[in-house]
Chain A
Amino acid sequence: MKVKLWGVRGSIPTTGPETEYYGGNTSCVTVSHDDYVLVLDGGTGIRQLSGSYYPSGKRIDVLLTHLHLDHIQGLGFFSPLFDASKEIHIWGPASSSHSLFSRLSRYLSPPLFPVLLRDLPCKLHLHEIGNSYFEAGPFQIQSNYIIHPGPTVGFRITGKHAAFTFIPDHEPALGDKGMIKEKKWVSGYDLAEGVDVLLHDGQYIREEYLPRKGWGHSCIDDSCLFASLAEVKKIILTHHDPSHSDAFLNNMLDAFKKGAGNIPPVALAKECMEIDLS
């Protein structure tokens, strides 16, 4: 199992020298095994899956955590969707009121996009998921609804030798008293329990988080507390705030590590970072 990060920025793409090191593309990750490629989220990072990174297999599964724009904005620029030889399966969280097709079509239709979802040349299959188990290629996948505005899931992907969890948008500390420190009362706990690598929302520092409580994201303190409770082996913080420069992120992590107690190893997600879990 190999994990590669193609977009680690939250909310809106950022460009410029100040964010060049960690990258400015929004959420997209691939998890691969041999020729099979699983795509997590369709943010602007997904556009880079072309050229030598064009998925060679006939079937591609795209797992969407939710349908906020920073997680689907790149879909219209994902080349395999325009390739008639490809069979694309898009898995996304079910809503209690509208179908996945209907909600994706809000973006993939005029006036926001010129091509209709139903007119895409590939063989497209949509799957609505919630608290679900399913298989995609060589991977077993568990999805669970997690705390974030609107229907949102996280994914636990289990391969032959390792497990990887992806929860890029998550606010487990929502509430008056912050995160409840009883495992069965923690949003996303089942997804993260004991995994080798957790790629998790770490958008804010504590001071930024408090006035933004309820927006659906985490400060790095809460992300690492979540990782500790779930006893993950390593946490990588993603969904970097668009206002955070490379220098800010470096200082943020350094300052946090100095004051942190006993937490799992922590790192910052960086565009094009590769994680080998073979």
Chain B
Amino acid sequence: MAAYEIEIILNRQLADCLSIPVFITDTAGNLIFYNEPAEQVLGKRFEETGEMPVEEWSTIFKPLDDDGNPLAPEELPLVKTLKEEFPYHKSFRIESLKGVTQNISVTSYPIISRSGKFIGAVAIFWKVKDK
């Protein structure tokens, strides 16, 4: 069994200590870890789901713009980070499968290993007050 690179493991160790929702993906966008605060966003527990393919976790909530229109995937920070290997930040709304909406800001950054290789990405969800 191949273990994750040390930079991925250290990102998970950090996420485990934080009180803000953190998602860690591989380079394809598959969700390989989310911390306890992120479980509230997803409505699922990591211990129960384990890793989730991008097709599965990307449908759990729907991103919307300020007018309630669906956001195109290519406008989302994490999608841009995965494509361009660069950090991004954006505020928008998300709607859960139950129809509950909330305003959030997302900061995403690429995990570039010590050898300079792009090995994954992190997305941090910041809850913001309703406008």
Contact = CB atoms under 8 A, between A and B. Distances in A.
B100 interface: no
A193 interface: yes
Given A94-B114, A95-B114, A131-B115, A176 B6 contact: no
Contacts of A177: 16
B5 A186 contact: no
B58 interface: no
A144 interface: yes
Contacts of A183: 1, 3
A184 interface: yes
Interface in B1-47: 1-7, 9-10, 12-14, 16-17
Contacts of A193: 1
B6 A180 contact: no
Interface size class of B (residues with CB under 8 A): 10 to 19
B110 to A, nearest CB: 14
A184 B4 contact: yes
Interface in A206-222: none
A130 B114 CA distance: 8
A interface residue count range (under 10 / 10 to 19 / 20 to 34 / 35 or more): 20 to 34
A256 B57 CA distance: 44
Chain A, interface SS category: loop
A131 B8 CA distance: 14
Given A147-B9, A147-B10, A185-B9, A130 B115 contact: yes
B116 interface: yes
Contact of A147 (B6, B17, B116): B6
B4 to A, nearest CB: 6
B116 A96 contact: yes
A121 to B, nearest CB: 33
Contacts of B114: 94-96, 130, 145, 151
Interface string A175-219: 111001001111111100100000000000000000000000000
Contacts of B7: 145
A151 B114 CA distance: 8
A184 B116 contact: no
A41 B14 CA distance: 30
A174 interface: yes
Nearest to A180: B12
A183 B12 CA distance: 14
Contacts of B1: 183-184, 189-190, 193
A176 B9 contact: no
Nearest to B6: A145
Interface of B: 1-7, 9-10, 12-14, 16-17, 114-116
10 contacts: A130-B114, A144-B6, A147-B6, A151-B114, A174-B13, A175-B17, A180-B13, A183-B1, A185-B9, A190-B3
Interface of A: 94-96, 130-131, 144-147, 151, 174-177, 180, 183-190, 193
Q: Which 10 A-B pairs have the closest CB atoms?
A: A175-B13, A189-B3, A176-B17, A145-B6, A184-B3, A130-B115, A176-B16, A190-B3, A96-B114, A183-B1
